[in-house]
Amino acid sequence: MDTETAPTYKRFRPSAYHPSMALTWWMKKPSYLLYILRELTAVFVAAYAIILLLTVRALSQGGEAWDTWLATLQRPGMILFHGFILAFAVYHSLTWFTLAPTALVVRIKDKVLPASALIAVHVAAWVGCSAFIAWVLLSA
Amino acid sequence: MSSSRNNDPFWWSFFGAGGVFSSFFIPIHVLLLGIALPLAWWTVEPETLLELVRHPLARIYLFMLISLTLFHAAHRIRFTLHDLLLAKQIDTPAAYLCYTGAIVGTVVTLVTVWTL
Amino acid sequence: MDKTIKIQVRRYLPEKQPDPFWQEYEVPLEPKWGVLDALIYIKDHLDGSLSYRWSCHMGVCGSCGMMVNGEPALTCATFLEEYQPGPIRIEPLANFKVLRDLIIDTDDFMGKLKSVKPWLITDEKRDITDGENRQTPAELKAFKQYTLCINCMLCYSACPVVGLNEDFVGPAAIALAQRYNYDNRDSGNAARHDTLLAHGGAFDCTLIGECSRACPKHVDPTGAIQRYKADGAMEYWKRLIWPKAATAPKNDGIVKQID
């Protein structure tokens, strides 16, 4: 990007070096690592979206297809994988709720709702949604 | 800075909507359908479950949840590839790959919930 | 000299040696000395060839930002005592081109800052007899936090996206764009949308949050960018669905003539 401060000016700027970022940049600070972990939740969350789709498909095909799919889900490796998915999905939820106040400004009359209250509302809604889905499934 | 059209706000909108949906609803499904059901902590007849997901509201819910979650993840994975590989030139192919995946997933989901 | 502390400085003297190198100095560990005081001591007593920027020595000019032990900091507000027993490693701000020793090239930042038009844009004609353009405390509060930016560029050093993507307009520029977007006297949002919605704009940010942690003035660029994304996405859809309803670009706010 050019500025009007004489981009060709060289007399006291014979050269410059531009340090580049290392491939391992995200290992240098705990906050960078947590950021990358947060972004990687997407892989697990997407994997679960596909598993959920396969579950619905197996249900619609019924009988044998469902039994085969349930047997797949019962493999120890698959249970372990779901454990990982659950951990990453919960991390995704918690980071999503804690970052929501950065974009969302809620005003009640003249007062801006503090971030902590906004996070609490999100967590409460999360518990409510989960309880509702659990009630629908378990009471079926 | 390039003046060419930037569609990132478009994808970001779906990323945001999918982030909200998936953060509220994915964990409980993983717990119930991915862990509790296979471990038989809870048992249900597949016919009962099928009846449940055939409800119009359940179909809409499942479609929204799966599709938006895929768009959310596609956007994040695209940027994470760029962050981890430090390769700007892969951003365009990565974007095509990720968003195409989400679109294909959406179509498959639509067909699946429609023909339940 | 009673107690001393070692200072390692990342040096770059292109006319003497093509590559940057480390040089170590030993300075008195005086109580209440900032890292900047140590650099001034080095220049005055040990090595006059050391180059660095500073001006106010009180955390408002934004000139003395450097990497102190790998973290961006204003060196006037970073104290030697906190780093005992040392050594303290001082480098030029990360993610910038380095011209000499601790001096970075600010041209890129200045260009980016200018691209978001951080000045008052209005079509309203006002006469001197109209008096001041008054604002209520609530109207001021809507943007006051963003006015506190001192252009020290610490947020650019803290932000990995700036380092990974040279086109990204960056945290401070977006916060300053928002400083005017949320000012009720300003009507230049449309002109700023053109930059912030484009490639390199706000949507290149992936919300790492380091800018707000690095900011010495608590401007919170993270919040500014996130709030912009929400407004910007709305504007994007408006322009896509019903272009006429979208905010029409006005003048660029550069005053051509003052009567």
pLDDT tens sequence across B28-68: 999 999 999 999 999 888 899 999 999 999 999 999 999 99
Q: How far is A128 from chain B (nearest CA, A)?
A: 9
Confidence of residue B2 (pLDDT cuts 50, 70, 90): very low
Cα distance between residue C186 and residue C59, in whole Å: 29
pLDDT tens, residue by residue, C175-203: 999 999 999 999 889 899 999 999 999 99
* B13 phi/psi in degrees, rounded to 5: -60, -45
Confidence of residue C174 (pLDDT cuts 50, 70, 90): very high
Confidence of residue C98 (pLDDT cuts 50, 70, 90): very high
Mean pLDDT in chain B?
92
Chain A environment of C140 (Cβ under 8 Å): none
Quick check: C209 and A29 in contact, CB under 8 A?
no
Instruction: Check A5 against C107: CB less than 8 A apart.
Output: yes
The closest CB to that of A52, out of B29, B37, B73, belongs to: B29
Residue listed under structure tokens 């000299």: C1
The closest CB to that of B9, out of C115, C195, C203, belongs to: C203
The tokens for C61 are 């000019």
The closest CB to that of A49, out of B35, B46, B66, belongs to: B66
**Residue of B77, B69, B95 lying closest to B17 (CA atoms):** B69
- Chains with ≥3 CB–CB distances under 8 Å to A: B, C
Cα distance between residue C20 and residue A17, in whole Å: 8
> Which domains are assigned to chain B?
22-34+47-114 (1.20.1300.10)
Confidence of residue C4 (pLDDT cuts 50, 70, 90): very high
Cα distance between residue C135 and residue B97, in whole Å: 50
> Which domains are assigned to chain C?
4-104 (3.10.20.30), 107-245 (1.10.1060.10)
- Torsion angle, CA of C72/C78/C84/C88, rounded to 10 degrees? 40
> Which domains are assigned to chain A?
26-88 (1.20.1300.10), 104-140 (no CATH)
Arithmetic mean of pLDDT, C90-115: 94
Cα distance between residue C201 and residue B75, in whole Å: 16
Chain B environment of A79 (Cβ under 8 Å): 35, 38-39
pLDDT tens, residue by residue, C140-163: 999 999 999 999 999 999 999 999
pLDDT tens, residue by residue, C106-116: 999 999 999 99
Cα distance between residue B24 and residue C234, in whole Å: 23
Quick check: C151 and C173 in contact, CB under 8 A?
no
Rounded to 10 deg, the angle between the B91-114 and B56-85 helix axes is: 170
Confidence check: pLDDT of C257 > 80: no
Neighbours of C220 (CB within 10 A): 21
Task: Calculate ∠ Cα A83-A86-A88, nearest 5°.
Answer: 110
Arithmetic mean of pLDDT, C122-135: 86
pLDDT at C21: 96
Query: Between A and B, how many residue pairs show a Cβ–Cβ distance under 8 A?
Result: 150
- The ipTM, to two decimals, is 0.93
A112 or C165: which carries more pLDDT confidence? C165
**β-bridge partners, C89:** C8
pLDDT at C258: 44
Q: For chain C, what is the radius of gyration of the CA atoms?
A: 22
Helix (H/G/I), strand (E/B), else coil: C7: strand
C244 or C127: which carries more pLDDT confidence? C127
Confidence of residue C1 (pLDDT cuts 50, 70, 90): low
Arithmetic mean of pLDDT, C235-239: 92
Confidence check: pLDDT of C127 > 90: no
Quick check: A92 and A45 in contact, CB under 8 A?
yes
Instruction: Check B3 against C195: CB less than 8 A apart.
Output: no
Query: Cβ of C41 under 8 Å from any chain B Cβ?
Result: no
Give residues with Cβ within 8 angstroms of C78, minimum separation 6: C34, C35, C36, C68
pLDDT tens, residue by residue, A56-105: 999 999 889 999 999 999 999 999 999 999 999 999 999 999 999 998 88
pLDDT at B91: 87
Cα distance between residue B17 and residue B73, in whole Å: 11
Arithmetic mean of pLDDT, B70-89: 92
pLDDT at A14: 63
